[in-house]
């Protein structure tokens, strides 16, 4: 969207779903795009579901600071009385009551037996029911274990092919943005991709670069020696680039065969595949797979030696499942995991329309853990006790006039930007007769727009004193209705 910003103007509307997973940096960028273009920004989300992996929780914070909102009070996903009750009780913090409304809570004493018990229950389902029943786990390590056990069971019943093709996949290395800035955090053999090229280093956008070693350059700085797909080596200094534009992967092996379920792990615009999209392998010849995607039923032939950001698609992490809907959900919740918390539990059960089965060691202890571990993040403003002081209601008496001036400046900035774009289009089409006519037409429109803006500015300055009361009136509803807890908003 940042690349195609020229298509945005004051008539555009940006709708962001699952806004609760937005980090601070992404939120700032979206707000900048909205301010510069004049486009409206509408954010949808549920504060009780999983939050951002990156720092911050701007969606919740903006609501506390005075962002206007509308709450959906009725659950539209759950279709049975028991599931509606389970979700409502979880929202209120009554996890024991919520667990009592699930289809079944199965217990095993040993954590390693939980996954095996879940897989046995899943394999009892009819093939057509399996595709509408999602297995949810807390972390990627457990996801790999469950995927392996599911494939073993499917092979026993000959639901997948007998012969496997061994292929390489790229799995996220999990480096933070801070770690990406230092060469010492990278390991030999890791694969890097870049969302933007770097002409200084000779790095090409979207190319794959394998880490060869860490070396020292002429300035005694630690840099990485990378090799591209053709064996050409380049030197890259992690400190000089933006860490958000670098993806770091580990290389792992996977076995794949006909009938396997597959899940894409990174959005691919060239292939028109979304992140976490699932499908079934209908044919496999060498590394080329024919996949039928669940989303639209289309069949696509993909060379998996070239496109490696996939994995088996039987189990899924709760974080990746957010925003999805399934008929039924199987949840694995071992008590020893630090990710067993209220947010993850609530997100998991709200994926289901008709029912949920959950596996854990002890139902009562699980209810206690969910009550104690909310899973909430704390923002810096909360820690400093400045949420109320920095809210719209708290700042409006002191800054309403400055905000009015900022509105005028931003409107003028957007208008000047529109003029610059019009001038660029005019100069680009000056070459021929048609270009000249288009240029003259565009200049006429620009002149009319300038006159219109001048007339509007006369009226704007004339009633600038009315702006501050308008701000206060608009802020009354959201500021006074903002709840002190993080549970505002409703599941969709």
Which stretches of 188-341 are DSSP H helices? 318-321
* 304, pLDDT greater than 90: yes
Interatomic CA distance for residues 26 and 43, integer angstroms: 13
Q: Are 277 and 323 in contact (CB under 8 A)?
A: no
Grouping H, G, I as helix, E, B as strand and the rest as coil, residue 271 is coil
> Residue 8: is its pLDDT beyond 90?
no
- How many C-beta atoms lie closer than 10 Å to residue 479's C-beta? 21
How many CA atoms, within 13 angstroms, populate the side-chain half-sphere of residue 263? 18
pLDDT band of residue 367 (cuts 50, 70, 90) is very high
Residue 56 Rama label (left phi>0; alpha psi -120 to 50; beta): left
- In the predicted model, what is the mean pLDDT of residues 366-390? 84
Q: What angle do CA 337, 172, 145 make, to 5 degrees?
A: 45
Say how many C-beta atoms besides its own lie within 10 A of residue 355's C-beta: 21
Q: What are 292's two structure tokens? A: 């039928």
Averaged pLDDT for residues 295-309: 94
- Does the pLDDT at position 7 exceed 60? yes
Q: pLDDT value at position 481?
A: 39
Which of the residue ranges 3-12, 167-176, 212-221, 454-463 would you say has the lowest mean pLDDT?
454-463
Give the pLDDT band of residue 477 (cuts 50, 70, 90): very low
The pLDDT tens digits of the residues spanning 81-139 come to: 999 999 999 999 999 999 999 999 999 988 889 999 999 999 999 988 998 999 999 99
Structure tokens at 279: 């499908």
Grade residue 395 by pLDDT with cuts at 50, 70 and 90: confident
Nearest CA to 330 out of 466, 89, 138, 486 is that of: 138
pLDDT tens-digit map of 257-281: 999 999 999 888 889 998 889 999 9
Q: What is the rounded average pLDDT of the residues 277-287?
A: 94
Query: Taking phi first (over 0 means left), then psi (-120 to 50 degrees means alpha), and beta for anything else, what does residue 317 get?
Result: beta
Mean pLDDT of the chain: 84
Q: Are 278 and 310 in contact (CB under 8 A)?
A: no
State residue 414's pLDDT score.
Answer: 78
- For residue 246, give the nearest of 202, 207, 189, 200 by alpha carbon: 207
The whole-number pLDDT of residue 482 equals 39
Phi first, then psi, for residue 354 (nearest 5°) are -115, -30
Confidence at residue 267, expressed as pLDDT on a 0 to 100 scale: 87
Q: How far is CA 164 from CA 148, 160, 168, 285, in A?
A: 13, 10, 13, 11
pLDDT of residue 82: 96
How high is the pLDDT of residue 457? 52
User: What pLDDT is stored for residue 478 in this prediction?
Assistant: 42
Does pLDDT of 163 surpass 60? yes
Q: What is the DSSP string of 182-230?
A: -GGG--TT-EEEESS-BTTTTBPTT--EEEEEEEE-TTS-EEEEEE-TT
Domains and CATH numbers, the chain: 1-73 (no CATH), 81-164+257-372 (3.40.50.300), 171-250 (2.30.30)
Task: Report pLDDT for 479.
Answer: 39
Q: What is the pLDDT of residues 406-436, one digit of tens each?
A: 888 888 887 787 788 778 777 765 444 555 5
CA distances from 92 to 219, 346, 377, 487, 490 (A): 59, 11, 18, 9, 12
- Judged against a pLDDT cut of 50, whether residue 6 lies above it is answered with yes
Give the CA diameter of the chain. Answer: 82
Do 16 and 41 form a contact (C-beta atoms < 8 A)? yes
| Tens digits of residue pLDDT in 21-66 | 888 888 999 988 888 888 889 999 898 898 887 888 889 888 888 8
Q: Give percent of the chain above pLDDT 90.
A: 50
307 — pLDDT class (breaks 50, 70, 90): very high
d(CA 216, CA 206): 26
């Amino acid at each position: 969207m940042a690349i195609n910003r020229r298509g945005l103007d004051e008539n555009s509307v940006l709708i962001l779903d699952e806004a609760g997973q937005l980090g601070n940096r992404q939120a700032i960028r979206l707000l900048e795009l909205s301010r510069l273009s004049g486009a409206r920004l509408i954010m949808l989300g549920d504060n009780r579901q999983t939050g951002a992996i990156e720092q911050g929780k701007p969606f919740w914070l903006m609501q506390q600071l005075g962002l206007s909102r509308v709450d959906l009070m009725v659950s539209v996903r759950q279709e049975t009385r028991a599931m509606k009750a389970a979700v409502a009780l979880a929202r209120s913090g009554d996890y024991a009551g919520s667990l009592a409304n699930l289809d079944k809570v199965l217990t095993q004493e040993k954590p390693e037996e939980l996954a095996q018990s879940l897989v046995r229950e899943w394999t009892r389902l009819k093939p057509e029911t399996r595709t509408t029943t999602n297995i949810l786990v807390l972390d990627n390590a457990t996801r790999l274990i469950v995927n392996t056990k599911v494939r073993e069971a499917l092979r026993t019943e000959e639901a997948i092919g007998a012969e496997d093709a061994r292929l390489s996949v790229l799995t996220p290395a999990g480096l933070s943005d801070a770690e990406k800035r230092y060469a010492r955090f990278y390991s030999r053999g890791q694969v890097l991709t870049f969302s933007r090229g770097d002409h200084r280093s000779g790095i090409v956008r979207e190319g794959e670069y394998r880490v060869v070693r860490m070396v020292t350059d002429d300035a005694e700085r630690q840099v990485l020696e990378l090799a591209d797909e053709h064996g050409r080596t380049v030197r890259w200094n992690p400190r000089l680039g933006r860490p958000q534009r670098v993806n770091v992967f580990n290389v792992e092996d996977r076995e794949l065969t006909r009938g396997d379920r597959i899940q894409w792990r990174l959005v691919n615009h060239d292939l028109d595949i979304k992140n976490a999209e699932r499908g079934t392998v209908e044919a496999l010849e060498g590394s080329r797979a024919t996949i039928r995607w669940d989303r639209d039923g289309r069949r696509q032939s993909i060379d998996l030696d070239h496109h490696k950001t996939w994995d088996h698609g039987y189990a899924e992490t709760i974080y990746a499942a957010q925003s999805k809907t399934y008929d039924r959900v199987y949840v694995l919740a071992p008590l020893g995991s630090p990710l067993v918390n209220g947010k993850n539990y609530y997100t998991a059960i709200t994926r289901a329309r008709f029912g949920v089965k959950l596996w854990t060691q002890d139902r009562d202890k699980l209810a206690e853990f969910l009550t104690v571990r909310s899973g909430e993040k704390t923002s810096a403003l909360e820690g400093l006790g400045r949420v109320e002081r920095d809210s719209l209601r708290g700042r409006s008496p002191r800054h309403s006039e400055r905000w009015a001036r900022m509105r005028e400046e931003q409107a003028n900035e957007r208008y000047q930007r529109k003029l610059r774009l019009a001038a660029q289009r005019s100069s680009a089409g000056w070459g021929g007769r048609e270009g000249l006519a288009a240029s003259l037409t565009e200049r006429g429109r620009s002149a009319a727009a300038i006159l219109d803006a001048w007339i509007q500015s006369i009226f704007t300055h004339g009633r600038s004193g009315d702006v501050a009361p308008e701000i206060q009136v608009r802020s009354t509803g959201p500021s006074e209705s903002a709840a002190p807890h993080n549970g505002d908003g409703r599941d969709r």
